[in-house]
Structure formats: structure tokens, C-alpha cells
Amino acid sequence: MIFDRQDGVLPGRIISIDLGTGEPAEPVFPRDPKTASPNDAAVGDIIWFGHYPGISAAEDSQDPLPVPWLVLDRTSEDLLLISRDALDSRPYHGEFRDVVWEDCDLRKWLNGEFLHSFFSAAEQKRILVSHLANDDNPEYRTSGGGATSDRIFCLSLSEAGRYFADDASRRCGPAERAVRKGLWANEEGHCYWWLRTPGRYGFNAAATDPFGELWPDGNTVNGEDHGGVRPAMRIFTEPLSSNPG
């Protein structure tokens, strides 16, 4: 059978996941994760998908390095991934104002420039559309805005709590690309990373701090100390081919 794959959609298969439902089989605690292929990866494994682009014209000519991703969840057909490292240093939004995930600059960048610069056309077709519930801040009730449909996204506060077993498993270091862009890390090499849930006020966005603790108060959306960007996405476990059967 020949399938039409416009925009990565494979007719006859589920291509969108509502992350607001269901439970992962086990929370992730990646002490010594093994490297695996998407076909046989289990929760807690590392897979390699996409490549780092250069951050300057001179570096664009160098051989790109593959990007490591941590498997957070697996179904029979897809994997939920989050980057092992903070891949970039960016503000949640470019100006100081109340903003929700639906309208923020970080979401636009992830589903635009990031999607098209980190992944080949074939890899982009493996990335599913995820239907995201954007809940209010659970502690301060700050509005999370409307639901969104994204290929690339940040985890919410509840997802970051659900898919990781504890604070230690949420700790994250910056990739070299992010270090060159000035992302701060503590003495242990860990950094803040953005979550898509609003913070205490509408001009804050929640984050995970360098100790792996969930921080519902959040950082200012356009603060000088940009947060680390740790993208998440769902991908098909097997590459799409012109004749899958």
C-alpha cells in the first residue's frame, strides 16, 4: 500500500497524542541509560535523532553531531522523547508581558526554526503532532491559555512531575551549543530549563531549577538569564517508507 505523507501525516494511524491522558509505565530515572534504536528503545534509554546545526556561518560547514534524546514513554507505535541536554538558551518570550504557551515566541521557534534546522525532511515526517492541554498553574492558578497542537514542545509542570521519578532525574546540563550562547550552569554542570506552564504571574513561566526541582513560581519570560530549552516530541518508532507493508 502506498501512503500519502504530506506534513508527516500517515493516514490510517494515530498521529496525535493527548499528553493530558494516560500514565507512563514507569517514571524515568536515567542513572546509566543505554543507547538504543527507536525500534527497540525502552523508557529510560537514549536514542540519537536529528543533528545539531552550526550556530555561526563558519560552523555550518562542519560535520553536524547527532542529538541524544531520553525516552520518557513508549506506546506500540511511538516514543515520547525529551532532549538529554538543554539544546539552546532562549527567552520564553521576547518582551516583558503576560503571555501563555499558545502565543509565546519559544513555541513559535520550536515549531519553526528549530524543527527545520535540527531535523532532515525525512526525520520531520517521523515527528507526530501532539495535542497539548495547557493547564493553569496548579499553585497560583495563573491561566495556561488554550490547548495547542505542536510537533515540538516543552513539558508542562505536571508532565515533568509525572515522567521523572525525582529531582535528580530531572537535572540537565547545557549542550555545547547552549554554552556558547551563554546558558548558565552551576558548579555541578546543571542548568534551568523551561516548562510551558505559566509561573506565579502571567509574565513568568515555570521551570526546572539546576537541582531538578520543579519551580512553579518561574522565571521572567524575557529575563536576561535565558532559560535552557529542553524540547520534547513524539516520533514514530519506525521510519516511514513508500511501501510499509
Q: Is residue 174 part of a domain?
A: yes
Q: Is residue 63 part of a domain?
A: yes
CA dist., res. 27 & res. 11, Å (int): 31
In DSSP terms, which residues pair with 129 in a beta bridge?
16
Q: Give, in order, the Cα–Cα distances in Å from 176 to each of 4, 30, 52, 173, 189.
A: 38, 21, 10, 9, 12
Q: Is residue 60 part of a domain?
A: yes
Q: Is residue 241 part of a domain?
A: no
Which residues span the domain enclosing 103? Answer: 6-25+32-236
Q: Is residue 243 part of a domain?
A: no
CA dist., res. 157 & res. 175, Å (int): 22
Q: Is residue 1 part of a domain?
A: no
Report the domain count for the chain. 1
Q: Is residue 105 part of a domain?
A: yes
- pLDDT 10s per residue in the chain (245 long)? 222 223 332 222 233 334 443 343 344 433 355 677 888 889 999 999 999 987 654 454 466 789 999 999 999 899 999 999 999 999 999 999 999 999 999 999 999 999 999 999 999 999 999 999 999 999 999 999 999 999 999 999 999 999 999 999 999 999 988 998 889 999 999 999 999 999 999 999 999 999 999 999 999 999 877 789 999 999 999 875 433 33
pTM for the full model? Answer: 0.83
Q: Is residue 154 part of a domain?
A: yes
